[in-house]
């Protein structure tokens, strides 16, 4: 199956099984806006909870926050978003489609990277066990040439973005012969900057100077509450503030389903530390966040770090965690060392001191900040892409979502074998006992095989079948989603089994 086929399948599966619907579906949808259905909301809540608890429960020095979407407009002036939150856009004159110029170049680089991987695969086959891939990367002329090309493009992109000379980016697109994916043509406009913030009015009747922005990131809500939390929580450096919430960006190029949305959710943690210690904490959080991802049972080969080629002027280190989506490696999370830029700017713009007094040294200073920032929706797409599998079973295809049990929308389905002889009543009793601790589902329609398949398709890790013997021996058959193996267990053991296998606490312990 080609990767684009796989991606199309994942998108239609997400709709068919109540994970993600286009927003305003009956009105023809709204571009780049999506709704989460009955299973999607459970999966999304579990992912959010996994993130939030891993931050606030596993770290004594990280606390939560829930700041508003609307904030004082000067905040966005101070943060630099009013003047600088832009994307470089380019239009194709034939298809009339607009693209992010840097993304067009990155996609082109990814194609070259794939060529490198193919060369290496071929060589590995040719040389067998003695093959040394890293040596091949640094000695094979063709591979080196591809890599040099990628590096050259990075360099030009960085220079163009840093200097604001967007012509060099246009020239690069032309020189590389990058074509519009829709029209296939190279008929491009100039590259221009577009601001991504949505604005509205505070008071309906006033015009002019009461413009409000819908926040394009949750982080500024943390910065402007830094002192409130530090003082009321009597927090000592280093400490962190974590928050999850909606953010809005007028993404001109909405592509790839929930990968790039206009309304999405972020999960951000700002870690305040002493100046001079920030790079230590940056490295700590870089490793820590990768461990968190791997705890979800996703192979490490599907992740990679990507250092930023263009550092924002206030950052002294920045890296993305990228995941191998069906359309290639893309950013899912950013880790940034932001120095004292944001707090410093808010001090300047608000006129309020945002200093930390260090009782050990009797000094006050603006703390430095290391940020971890991940999109909940991108994470959702990541786990869905990783979990989606089609398997041949007895001449049939089963579609199964191999989600980590702790994030699966439904933990266990209770299935009476037939709709009579007291089986539904016993199933109901089991359901009643389990529902306080687990999201359980009960169903008596259709053959047991069909019911199993439906549960596989939404990633339910366990199905429990209640049969005639259950009435006498108080045992049920529990079926494991991934292996499809079945075993007979006592009804009274179910709670412990589910707790061990599906609880959030086991997942948190595994980080």
* Residues in contact with ligand ATP by the rule CB under 6 A: 217, 249, 251, 260-261, 264, 266, 331-334, 373-375, 377-378
Name the closest residue to ligand ATP (Cβ): 375
Nearest to 71 by CA among 224, 242, 270: 224
- Cβ nearer to ligand ATP, comparing 257 with 438: 257
Q: Compute the CA torsion angle 107, 109, 111, 115 (nearest 10 deg).
A: -170
To ligand ATP, the closest distance from the beta carbon of 353 in angstroms equals: 28
∠ Cα 224 228 232 (to 5°)? 160
To ligand ATP, the closest distance from the beta carbon of 448 in angstroms equals: 39
The rounded distance, in Å, linking the Cα atoms of 48 and 376 is 7
For residue 448, CA distances in Å to 222, 306, 435 come to 50, 47, 22
- Strands 462-466 and 368-375, sheet pairing: unpaired
To ligand ATP, the closest distance from the beta carbon of 440 in angstroms equals: 31
Match 């194709």 to its residue by tokens. Answer: 92
Beta bridge partners of 489: 476
Instruction: Kindly provide the residue ranges of all beta strands, DSSP E only, lying in 196-279, ordered along the sequence.
Output: 199-201, 211-213, 239-248, 263-273
To ligand ATP, the closest distance from the beta carbon of 102 in angstroms equals: 8
To ligand ATP, the closest distance from the beta carbon of 333 in angstroms equals: 5
To ligand ATP, the closest distance from the beta carbon of 145 in angstroms equals: 28
DSSP 189-205: ---EEEE---EEESSSS
- Cβ nearer to ligand ATP, comparing 158 with 274: 158
Residues 6+ apart with CB under 8 A from 327: 3, 4, 7, 256
- Cβ nearer to ligand ATP, comparing 24 with 185: 24
To ligand ATP, the closest distance from the beta carbon of 431 in angstroms equals: 36
- Cβ nearer to ligand ATP, comparing 251 with 467: 251
- Cβ nearer to ligand ATP, comparing 374 with 415: 374
To ligand ATP, the closest distance from the beta carbon of 100 in angstroms equals: 8
249: three-class secondary structure by DSSP: coil
- Cβ nearer to ligand ATP, comparing 345 with 378: 378
To ligand ATP, the closest distance from the beta carbon of 198 in angstroms equals: 12
The rounded distance, in Å, linking the Cα atoms of 511 and 507 is 7
419 near 33, Cβ under 8 Å? no
Q: How many CA atoms lie within 13 A of 7 on its CB side?
A: 15
The angle, 0 to 180 degrees and rounded to 10, between the axes of the packed helices 167-175 and 101-127 is 40
- Cβ nearer to ligand ATP, comparing 111 with 246: 246
DSSP 188: B
- Cβ nearer to ligand ATP, comparing 230 with 373: 373
To ligand ATP, the closest distance from the beta carbon of 461 in angstroms equals: 26
The rounded distance, in Å, linking the Cα atoms of 146 and 140 is 10
291 near 372, Cβ under 8 Å? no
* Residue 186, number of CB atoms within 10 A of its CB: 15
Q: Where are the alpha helices (DSSP H) in 474-511?
A: 494-502, 504-509
- Cβ nearer to ligand ATP, comparing 251 with 340: 251
- Cβ nearer to ligand ATP, comparing 80 with 137: 80
């Amino acid at each position: 199956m080609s990767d684009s086929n796989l991606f199309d399948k994942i998108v239609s599966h997400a709709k068919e099984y109540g994970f993600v619907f286009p927003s305003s579906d009956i009105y023809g949808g709204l571009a780049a806006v999506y709704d989460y259905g009955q299973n999607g909301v459970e999966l999304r809540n579990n992912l959010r909870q996994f993130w939030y608890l891993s931050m606030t429960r596993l770290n004594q020095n990280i606390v939560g926050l829930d700041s508003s979407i609307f904030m004082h407009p000067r905040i966005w002036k101070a943060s630099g978003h009013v003047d600088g939150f832009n994307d470089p856009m380019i239009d194709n004159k034939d298809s009339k489609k607009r693209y992010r110029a840097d993304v067009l170049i990155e996609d082109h680089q990814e194609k070259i990277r794939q060529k490198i991987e193919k060369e290496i695969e071929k060589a590995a086959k040719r040389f067998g066990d003695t093959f040394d891939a890293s040596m091949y990367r640094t000695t094979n002329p063709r591979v080196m040439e591809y890599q040099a090309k990628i590096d050259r493009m990075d360099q030009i992109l960085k220079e163009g973005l840093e200097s604001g000379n967007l012509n060099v980016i246009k020239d690069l697109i032309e020189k590389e012969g990058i074509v519009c994916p829709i029209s296939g043509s190279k008929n491009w406009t100039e590259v221009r900057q577009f601001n991504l913030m949505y604005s509205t009015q505070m008071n309906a009747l006033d015009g002019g100077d009461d413009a409000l922005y819908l926040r394009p990131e949750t982080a500024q809500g943390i910065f402007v509450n830094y002192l409130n939390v530090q003082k009321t929580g009597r927090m000592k450096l280093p400490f962190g503030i974590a928050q999850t919430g909606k953010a809005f960006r007028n993404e001109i190029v909405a592509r790839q389903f929930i990968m790039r949305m206009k309304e999405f959710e972020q999960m951000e943690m700002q870690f305040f530390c002493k100046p001079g210690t920030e790079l230590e904490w940056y490295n700590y959080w870089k490793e820590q966040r990768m461990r968190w991802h791997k705890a979800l049972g996703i192979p490490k080969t599907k992740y990679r770090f990507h250092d930023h080629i263009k550092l924002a002027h206030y950052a002294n280190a920045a890296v993305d965690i990228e995941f191998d989506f069906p359309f290639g490696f893309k950013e899912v999370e950013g880790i940034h060392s932001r120095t004292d830029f944001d707090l410093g700017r808010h001090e300047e713009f608000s006129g309020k001191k945002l200093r930390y007094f260090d009782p050990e040294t009797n000094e006050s200073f603006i703390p430095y900040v290391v940020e971890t920032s991940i999109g909940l929706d991108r994470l959702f797409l990541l786990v869905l892409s990783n979990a989606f599998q089609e398997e041949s079973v007895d001449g049939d295809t089963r579609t199964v979502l191999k989600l980590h049990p702790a994030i699966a929308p439904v933990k266990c389905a209770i299935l009476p074998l037939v709709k009579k002889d007291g089986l539904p009543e016993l199933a109901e009793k089991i359901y009643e006992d389990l529902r306080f601790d687990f999201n359980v589902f009960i169903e008596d329609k259709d053959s047991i095989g069909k019911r199993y398949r439906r549960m596989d398709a939404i990633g339910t890790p366990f199905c429990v079948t209640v049969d005639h013997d259950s009435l006498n021996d108080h045992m049920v058959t529990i079926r494991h989603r991934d292996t499809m193996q079945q075993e007979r267990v006592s009804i009274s053991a179910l709670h412990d089994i589910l707790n061990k296998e599906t609880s959030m606490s086991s997942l948190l312990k595994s980080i």
